[in-house]
Homo-oligomer: A and B are copies of this chain.
Amino acid sequence: MQSKSTDKSADMPVTLTEQFLRGNLFAEACPSREVLKHVTSRWGVLVLVALLTGTHRFSDLRRKIGGVSEKMLAQTLQWLETDGFVLRVSYPVIPPRVEYSLTPLGNEVGLLVRDLADWIEVKLPAILQARTEKSDALQTVPGVVTHRLR
């Protein structure tokens, strides 16, 4: 996917298809925003990444993902299930046993999300450094004033 050549020109209109797709996303009523919201939600990202390593039970996920509440985990899983990313299999046994796994579709989006998460973790030192640099030294462009917000 995303077999784009090296496009890093300033304001390059890219392909027509992309223009349409992205223009679509910028539209307020674009249904993609709903899906994007589920995928990029606070716990959605972590659930997808966690499930990339295989099937998990509810309590497995709860334990693995630090800080998530039962309610939010259940809700997130339902979002992702409805979007066709997560497969929920309930075994009629006592005590109850429910297993969650990724669908092929979920695996794809999971990989993309993991790319993002990994990148952030790898670049975290640089990011944190950028923060502290901004704290004491300001950008100075000749003839241009860059005053801080906040």
Contacts and interface: CB of A to CB of B under 8 A. Distances in A.
Interface of A: 1-2, 8, 10-14, 18, 21-22, 24-29, 31-32, 35-37, 39-42, 45-46, 49-50, 53-55, 64-67, 74, 78, 81-84, 87-92, 103, 105, 107-109, 112-131, 134, 139, 141, 144-147, 149-150
A10 B123 contact: yes
Contact of A78 (B8, B42, B121, B150): B150
Within the oligomer, what is the number of copies of this chain? 2
Main secondary structure on chain A at its contact with chain B?
helix
Contact of A54 (B1, B10, B118, B150): B10
A10 B32 CA distance: 28
B116 A149 contact: no
B25 A78 contact: no
Contact of A144 (B27, B40, B50, B90): B90
